Amino acid sequence: MTAITAQELEIQMPDATKLYSDEPEMESSLHYMQLLLLVTCLEWAWQERNDFFIGANLTIYFSRQQLKNRDFRGPDFFLVKNTIKAPRNSWVVWEENGQYPDLIIELLSDSTANIDRTLKRDLYADRFHTPEYFYFSPYTLEFAGFRLDINRYKPISPNPQGWMWSEVMGLFLGIHEGQLRYFSLEGVLLLTPQEVAHNEMQKAKQEKQKADLEKQKADLEKQKADLEKHKADLEKHKADRQLIRADRAEARVQELEAKMRSLGINYD
């Protein structure tokens, strides 16, 4: 029997902590932004949960033979449920209680599209037994989804909006403004933290504008009330002056009458 070298032994029985991801960079910034969108949206939507792991362009190690042949497989996006939410250098199946991804999304590119539609799809069905598999092209917007049925993927039928329901996530996946996004059962778009912050800023701005308009309205009402009061004060002042004139005229008449009586003049 040929002796096994220390290097071969390390390959056959690797330390999972040394198994780092060995995936190439994303093909374009468009692919990177799409991947970032998928990760951040789901992380934000499930921020109160600690029972899942999202892998982004991360190698999945599932066999010693795979390591020996350096046949690395890393989906662009994968989700594992019922696990610990913690950082990982890679996903090592034998160190994760034999768990494989529950959902995989591949982002098609010119160099990987055929593999993603065929070889990877077969691997995810036959070996991984991943319940749901989707692929999407950020360039052409080609979108397809599959659900596992006895080790074979069957296409998921889209709804009238073209969205596909994910039983794994309890969400729809669909195209929105040229990007693959999540939607709730009610059809509400799941937002990124940045979109939530932007909406909150817009809401605060609208509330401020509303408050400013209310203040302007109140100021106008006050100005109107002040004007009415000023007008009433002027009317009262005018009435007072007329009353004073009338009193003075009456006093003058009485004075003349008294004078005429003193002179013995009868004016009747």
Amino acid letter for position 42: L
Selection from 15, 58, 56, 18 nearest residue 34 by Cα: 56
Name the phi and psi angles at 213, rounded to 5: -65, -40
Residue-wise pLDDT for 218-236, tens only, equals 788 888 888 888 888 888 8
Does 41 score more than 90 pLDDT? yes
Does 42 score more than 70 pLDDT? yes
pLDDT at 253: 76
CA distances from 54 to 58, 85, 204 (A): 9, 8, 33
Cβ neighbours, 10 Å, residue 175: 15
Residue-wise pLDDT for 177-201, tens only, equals 999 999 999 999 999 998 888 777 7
Segment 81-107 mean pLDDT: 94
- Residues 226-255 as b or e (16 or more Cβ within 10 Å = b): eeeeeeeeeeeeeeeeeeeeeeeeeeeeee
Selection from 180, 131, 198, 132 nearest residue 31 by Cα: 180
- Whether this prediction's pTM lies above 0.85 is answered by no
